[in-house]
């Protein structure tokens, strides 16, 4: 055997060796099958009419009195084959429903979550005592280990997209979970949406304000503010990859809303066709308004309002909105801050186009 082949084995040696090391819980890494360490997740799109219909069927099957949460997880077909419950390796998306009068009981857990509201009239999320009313297009945070419960005081179903870093926290074997002691709902502050009032005017905050948590002190990012900011965004600030795109940010640090998850809203103007790029962070997108398509590698995802789709990490992608169409608005979340904090975020523009 050649000495230039480091993985080759010496002839006639080691027949007992492999059995001995296995018995002692040791693994010869040179025999491990080499496999790609990215690319297991695949692009996928879930159409809103299908999602909504299945959620309403779920309401016939289970009540929030009997289960912790009425949620259907968005299973990535590539990961599902490996028995992994996730939309991407680090993040999961799921659709949750509560009916009028229902309550999703107060609990907290180490996975962090955000909520993108799909349908709601007088439903709310309470995060660590702060009640935030939910309207379609709002983003509401329930960061790691914050107590949260949801209630619906309206007369229509309330649905939202949950975005969690649960697959990451599970991989770290650090999932902790507790119900709020002794009560289905946590005590709520009298003043609703206090954090929204605190930061209502961008660039101002209460004098002497301090905050020592790892996540944003702003619990809710209202859709009206997001739409207004996108409409007023100066055109020269458009990105060739994302058109007009804004980040929901932590007003205390200027950083992402939570340590592991960043959230964005983008406006794809009629006639825009973005340049192709790829990055190691993933994107889970909710189509808030409009329609168009996104090409991910050789797959074309045709989306319209209400649909949810995933762009896995390190997949070439470009967004297209036809000239004749109204502007589209996409709300998305990503594990980009996690990868950046580890110094491993990769990004590449397509130089061939
Ligand atoms: Fe939860
Ligand atoms: Fe991108």
**CA nearest neighbour of 194 among 255, 126, 147, 146:** 126
Ligand with the closest atom to the CA of 315: 2
Ligand with the closest atom to the CA of 144: 1
What CATH number does the domain containing 173 carry?
2.60.120.10
Is residue 135 within 8 Å of 117, Cβ to Cβ?
A: yes
- Between the CA of 268 and the centroid of ligand 1 the distance, in Å, is 32
Q: Does some domain include residue 12?
A: no
- Between the CA of 45 and the centroid of ligand 1 the distance, in Å, is 24
Tens-place pLDDT, residues 70-83: 999 999 999 999 89
- Between the CA of 324 and the centroid of ligand 1 the distance, in Å, is 41
Q: What pLDDT is recorded for position 65?
A: 84
CB count within 10 Å of CB 104 equals: 24
Tens-place pLDDT, residues 186-214: 999 999 999 999 999 989 999 999 999 99
Tens-place pLDDT, residues 23-39: 999 999 888 877 666 77
- Between the CA of 115 and the centroid of ligand 1 the distance, in Å, is 10
- C-alpha 90/C-alpha 314 separation (Å) is 14
Q: What pLDDT is recorded for position 51?
A: 98
Q: Which structural domain range is residue 319 located in?
A: 44-349
Q: What is the average pLDDT value for the chain, to the nearest integer?
A: 94
Q: Does some domain include residue 239?
A: yes
- Between the CA of 95 and the centroid of ligand 2 the distance, in Å, is 23
- Between the CA of 6 and the centroid of ligand 2 the distance, in Å, is 39
Q: Does some domain include residue 13?
A: no
- Between the CA of 323 and the centroid of ligand 2 the distance, in Å, is 21
Q: What pLDDT is recorded for position 9?
A: 66
Q: Does some domain include residue 215?
A: yes
Helix ranges (DSSP H) in the chain: 17-23, 48-61, 77-80, 166-171, 194-198, 223-232, 336-341
pLDDT at 6 over 70: no
Tally of structural domains, the chain: 1
Q: Does some domain include residue 39?
A: no
Tens-place pLDDT, residues 82-99: 899 999 999 999 999 999
Q: Does some domain include residue 22?
A: no
DSSP output for 293-323:
EEEETTEEEEEETT-EEEE-TT--EEEE--T
- Between the CA of 42 and the centroid of ligand 2 the distance, in Å, is 15
**CA nearest neighbour of 331 among 177, 227, 205:** 227
Q: Does some domain include residue 117?
A: yes
Tell me the average pLDDT across 125-131: 98
Tell me the average pLDDT across 163-187: 96
């Amino acid at each position: 055997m050649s000495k230039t082949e480091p993985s080759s084995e010496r002839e006639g040696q080691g027949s007992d060796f492999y059995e001995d090391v296995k018995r002692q819980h040791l693994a010869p890494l040179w025999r491990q099958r080499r496999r790609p360490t990215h690319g297991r997740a695949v692009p996928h799109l879930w159409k809103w009419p299908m999602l909504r219909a299945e959620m309403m069927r779920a309401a016939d099957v289970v009540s929030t009195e009997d289960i912790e949460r009425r949620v259907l997880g968005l299973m990535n077909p590539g990961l599902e084959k490996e028995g992994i419950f996730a939309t991407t390796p680090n993040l999961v998306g799921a659709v949750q429903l509560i009916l009028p009068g229902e309550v999703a009981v107060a609990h907290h857990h180490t996975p962090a979550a955000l909520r993108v509201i799909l349908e709601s009239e007088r439903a709310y999320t309470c995060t660590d005592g702060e009640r935030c009313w939910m309207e379609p297009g709002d983003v509401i945070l329930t960061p790691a280990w914050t107590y949260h419960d949801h209630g619906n005081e309206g007369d229509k179903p309330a649905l939202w997209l949950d975005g969690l870093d649960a697959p990451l926290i599970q991989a770290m074997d650090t999932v902790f979970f507790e119900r709020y002691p002794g009560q289905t709902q946590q005590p709520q502050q009298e003043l609703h949406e206090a954090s929204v009032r605190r930061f209502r005017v961008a660039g101002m905050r209460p004098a002497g304000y301090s905050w020592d948590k790892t996540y944003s002190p702003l619990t809710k990012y209202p859709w009206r503010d997001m739409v207004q900011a996108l409409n007023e965004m100066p055109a020269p600030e458009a990105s060739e990859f994302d058109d007009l795109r804004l980040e929901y940010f932590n007003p205390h640090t200027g950083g992402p809303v939570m340590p592991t998850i960043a959230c964005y809203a983008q406006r794809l103007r009629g006639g825009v066709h973005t340049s192709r790029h790829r990055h190691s962070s993933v994107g889970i997108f909710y189509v808030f308004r409009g329609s168009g398509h996104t090409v991910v590698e050789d797959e074309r995802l045709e989306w319209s309002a209400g649909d949810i789709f995933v762009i896995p990490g390190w997949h070439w992608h470009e967004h297209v909105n036809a000239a004749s169409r109204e502007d589209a608005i996409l709300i998305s979340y990503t594990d980009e801050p996690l990868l950046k904090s580890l110094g491993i975020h990769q990004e590449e523009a397509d130089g061939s186009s």
